[in-house]
Amino acid sequence: MDLWERARAFAGEAAKRSQELSAEAAKRSSALVSETAKKSKEIFSETATKSREIAAEATKQADLLAGQIKRLSTDLPVPSIPAIPPIPTAVAPEPDAAELERYGITEDLREFVKGMTISTFRDFPLQDEPEMSDVPTVSNVRQDLNEWQARHATLVLSAVKEISKFRYELCPRYMKERKFWRVYFLLVNNYTSLYENKYFEELKVKSEEEKMDAKKEVTETSQATTAEHKDMKVQSKTSTSTNPEHDLDVFLLGDLGSDDEGPDGDDDGLDDDFDKIDGTSGLESDDDDDKEKAAGKAESAKE
């Protein structure tokens, strides 16, 4: 009985002690939470104050720096920057009406093309031909076309959207490029043949005119060369007639042409003069040599 009472008393004491410890723990925990909240509030307040001070200082420094930059910018001369011209875009110029007319792209052709469909090309009764691999393609147009057709094809692709659409959808999935343009020119032949024939007739006339101009230029050049050659001959004769040696020979020996036409009596006088010279000079061989040289020069001048 005493043991039981003691156990109950111990259990009550333990419960009472536990309640006291729980109350003490709750009290300390509440105090700790309150202290922690107070410390956190103080730290937050202090942090906010520091942040505001730092922000104010940064703003102040930024204002000072902006003022310095502004003063420097006003003191330094600002170089003038030339205006940069806009970069031209690579846009192909639109063909004028005269060129379109020259290559047969008329309103009648446009109206005829509007009535075409994909089936018009795809079901056209034309036998496929082997593709020519060595034929180049320039500006999306096959170069197995003639000069007029190639230019017409280039213009019609840009001026008539229906043809550009047909070509995009058909080539090369349903037909080759070469077949497409063969079918096209067969379809529009009644609208383009007149302009094509006129173009090549103009080229033929222009070619003939160029040939005539070239022939005329060659003739004028030949005539100028002939006249220049004649002038050179006249100048050569004039320079020969004014040769100082020839004049000296004529002065010393006389004009041979006038001697031939003169009377015979003059020869006797000349012979007498030579006889006198022979009688007074003993150097006969030297006189003979001089006579032969003078006679040779006279013959050369006469020729």
Q: Quickly state the pLDDT bin for 159 (edges 50, 70, 90).
A: very high
pLDDT of residue 260: 47
pLDDT in tens, 125-158: 987 665 554 444 444 455 579 999 999 999 999 9
Cβ proximity of 129 and 179 under 8 Å: yes
Give the pLDDT score at 205. Answer: 94
More confident residue, 135 or 103: 103
Average pLDDT, the chain: 75
pLDDT at 295: 66
Return the SS3 of 83.
coil
Q: Which residue has the higher pLDDT, 299 or 71?
A: 71
Whether 116 has a pLDDT exceeding 60, the answer reads: yes
pLDDT tens track for 172-219: 898 999 999 999 999 999 999 999 999 999 999 999 999 988 888 888
pLDDT at 255 over 70: no
pLDDT of 206: 92
**Percent of the chain residues topping a pLDDT of 70:** 63
Higher pLDDT, residue 286 or 54:
54
Of the ranges 14-23, 45-54, 69-78, 114-123, which one carries the lowest mean pLDDT score?
69-78
Asked if residues 158 and 105 have their Cβ atoms less than 8 Å apart, the reply is: no
Q: Where are the domains of the chain?
A: 1-73, 97-126+146-216
CA distance 143 to 131: 13
Tell me: pLDDT of 273 over 90: no
Residue 262 carries which side chain, given as an amino acid letter? G
Bigger pLDDT: 234 vs 215:
215
Provide the terminal-to-terminal Cα distance of the chain, rounded to the nearest Å: 189
Calculate the alpha carbon distances from 130 to 66, 142, 177, 178 in Å.
77, 14, 12, 10
Q: Which of 108-122, 141-155, 158-172, 218-232 comes out lowest in average pLDDT? A: 218-232
Residue 144 has what DSSP assignment?
T
Integer Cα distance of 175 and 193 in angstroms: 24
Q: Tens digits of per-residue pLDDT, 35-89? A: 888 888 888 788 888 888 888 888 888 888 887 787 776 666 655 555 555 554 5
- If you average pLDDT over residues 228-257, what whole number do you get? 58
